[in-house]
Amino acid sequence: MSEDPFFSLSEDSTWNACIGQQGDELHYVEGYLEAASELANAVIDKNMLAKRDTLVLPILYNARHAIELVLKYVAGQLFDCGVLAQRHPANHDIKGLWDHLVAADVADEAIRNHLKALERFVISLDRIDDDGQELRYHVNRDGETSLKGESLANIVVIRDNLKELSSVVDGLMHRTIGFVAERKSGTCTSRCSRADLREIAGMMPPLADWGTEAFTQAKNAVKERFSLSNTQFSKAIDAIKGNREFNGMIGGETELPYLLDDEVMLVVEQWRIFHADREGKEPEVVEGGRFRSADLIANIKKRRECVDALSGTITSHEAADLEALFYLGRGDFFPEHFEERATAYLETIGDDAELRARTARMLDKTNLLACLERGARRAGRLSLAERLGAPPAEPPTQDQCEESSQASG
């Protein structure tokens, strides 16, 4: 038979799996761990008593290999971003890999905790298979029977602990991804990651209470939890104060480069006028056959009037800040990059026509208010976030207008 028995494809693509160029490094970690769990579940759920002795070996090997792969992934990522000074030798020594990472004392509480949680799994499998051979071959490199110090393993116990192992491995993988991404923001100290600084900011009292006993208690709690010296604590506080988002968490205010709070509220006012018919309603899907030309013309007219109301008020610099604030609230980038993003948006606004078009596109966004509020909070504009989060003022009733007119008369 000429067709490749494993890599030829059928006409039915339902079961095509992505490998190689279309695969991903983390698929290896997840795949081996999932295989271990699926096999253990199958043996128990299907009452496969006759296969206990044969399937326990690939179950344990897959678990061990998943641990080896995740440790190598983490070590590689941390080396590439400059956290580890040197790579670990290319071998199958999971205990050596784990020791290498623990000894680095990575400046991130979550990574250290995940490594600590992985310890008992590493020790267990390293004890019976320190080089990745014993679970694969009946005879090891020394010519002795593999696993000769063991005689029994319980698949129910293995299955139950694989659930915890899966949680630990998943947490370590995803925290490593987040940690590496956060390093690009530049917000960190020699002892604290960006995530650590966020935690510390959340533990501190408002700036108005600094100098009180509340500050002292918080400082001591932070130092103990993160094992910080006084100098390291001071550096963490400086980093927090220098960060738009974290400074806001302790009650500090940071201005936007050009955009004023009142100008944001003017935009929101016009946005509310433009979307008045949506107020308090869930978004709905409108079929093409239900569109009427009169409605479309009215919508275009209202949109133009709202843009006209903002012309001469919102400059290109302010429009760039507004756009950056919106996308910051949508979670597209770190607050540390606000000025950089606003500058990039500004460079694409060439003339008044483009300024009007960009203003119109902002007004079109049904999630504008929600994103601006989140963006303002992340940008350290707490007072603006509060104004954006407050319900709109009710227009005066006819009776109130008449009373006001009589009083002024």
Is residue 71 exposed (0-12), middle (13-18) or buried (19+ Cβ within 10 Å)? buried
Q: Domain segments of the chain: what residues?
A: 21-183, 194-249, 261-279+294-389
Q: Is the pLDDT of residue 395 over 60?
A: no
Average pLDDT over residues 213-239: 97
Phi then psi dihedrals of residue 148, to 5 deg: -65, -15
| pLDDT above 70 coverage of the chain, percent | 91
**Whole-number pLDDT of residue 2:** 56
Q: Which residues pair with 109 in a beta bridge?
A: none
115: pLDDT confidence band, cut at 50, 70 and 90? Answer: very high
Residues 150-200 pLDDT 10s: 899 999 999 999 999 999 999 999 999 999 999 999 999 999 999 999 999
Average pLDDT over residues 218-236: 98
Average pLDDT over residues 44-55: 96
Measured distance CA(22)–CA(18) in Å, rounded = 5
CA angle (344 as vertex; 341, 347 as ends), nearest 5: 150
Q: Is the pLDDT of residue 118 over 60?
A: yes
Share the mean pLDDT of the chain: 91
Measured distance CA(363)–CA(353) in Å, rounded = 15
Name residues whose C-beta falls within 8 Å of residue 67's C-beta, 6 or more positions apart in sequence: 94, 118, 121, 122, 125, 165, 169
Residues 279-333 pLDDT 10s: 555 544 445 555 567 767 777 889 899 999 999 889 999 999 999 999 999 999 9
**Whole-number pLDDT of residue 142:** 87
Both structure tokens of 387: 């104004």
Both structure tokens of 367: 């999630």
**Whole-number pLDDT of residue 278:** 60
**Whole-number pLDDT of residue 297:** 79
406: pLDDT confidence band, cut at 50, 70 and 90? Answer: low
**Whole-number pLDDT of residue 284:** 46
Comparing CA positions, the residue from 172, 197, 174, 180 lying closest to residue 83 is: 180
Name residues whose C-beta falls within 8 Å of residue 347's C-beta, 6 or more positions apart in sequence: none
**Whole-number pLDDT of residue 52:** 95
Q: Which of the residue ranges 13-27, 43-57, 394-408 would you say has the lowest mean pLDDT?
A: 394-408
Residue carrying structure tokens 């579940």: 41
